[in-house]
Amino acid sequence: MTAQVLFRHISETLANVYDANEAKSIAYLVLETRYGLSRTAVILDTPLATDLAEVTPLLERLKNQEPVQYVLGEADFYGRTFEVTPAVLIPRPETEELVQWVLQELKGTTIPDLLDIGTGSGCIAVTLAAERPDARVAALDVSEEALTVARNNAQRLGVTVEFIQKNALITQDLPAQRYTAIVSNPPYVKQAEAAIMLPHVLDHEPHLALFVADHDPLIFYRAIAQYASTHLLENGFCAVEINQALGPETAAEFSEAGFAHVEIRTDLSGRDRMILARK
């Protein structure tokens, strides 16, 4: 069999579930990740020592709209490849923008102490540790399954992160030390928004990491703001990813917690997506 035969088989099989361009993108990703074939190698129709039956289990999962990152067991984030499982959210480009902002704000600091609240796959904490080897990085999550994935990512990418199992809403149990920066991408999707979510997200990504109650959608931000207000070093800051529909409301939580400088920043799509707060 050749690369083009397998590429056509995958993309045509998925065309009934995804649009043609997305089906082709998934096919290229499968060929690259599973078989080490670049797009050029596919175009050149490289011979393959496999058969169509080998990809059938993978295709069945993709036809059920399971995210390709879960099927392949990995996702790219900030130039690195992270292990992902259904226990953690798939890292997204918007979170890369949050990390970039944090790294910019850390310029000029030495040996920063950093805390990632709700670490999931560890993509934020591990990336910060990799980009700032001098940093002391801690990360917490309520899910032991998520922490297992995060630890694996730290190990495979060769960085040191202290992982802690804690519930971010029980702030009295969180670390007592003070930090240069506290960073978080907490749950922020309202239950009412589930009706408009795509099946590959709603049916497969962990609801624990996605959803908050409609009557109190800012519950995590309130807890984070209150904790950060007493656990930042001088000139420290708190940076969070937010629900695009709740920018001003989320900013108000930080202002009410005593932060004098609260900035909302949009993502590359022009949507309110991040907040950075300083005392």
pLDDT, residue 200, reads: 66
Q: Is the pTM of this model over 0.75?
A: yes
pLDDT digits (tens, 9 = 90+) for 92-106: 999 999 999 999 999
Q: Where are the beta strands (DSSP E) in the chain?
A: 74-77, 80-83, 113-117, 136-141, 162-165, 179-184, 189-190, 211-212, 232-241, 261-266, 272-278
Q: Which helix (H) or strand (E) holds 252?
A: helix 247-256
Annotated binding site for substrate: 185-188
For the chain, which ranges sit under pLDDT 70? 196, 198, 200
Q: How is domain 85-278 classified at the architecture level of CATH?
A: 3-Layer(aba) Sandwich (3.40)
Check if the beta carbon of residue 250 is closer than 8 Å to that of residue 221: yes
pLDDT, residue 180, reads: 98
Q: Provide DSSP, 126-145.
A: HHHHHH-TT-EEEEEES-HH
pLDDT, residue 189, reads: 82
User: Residue 270: left (phi > 0), alpha (psi -120 to 50), or beta?
Assistant: left
Annotated binding site for S-adenosyl-L-methionine: 118-122, 141, 185
Annotated binding site: 118-122, 141, 185-188
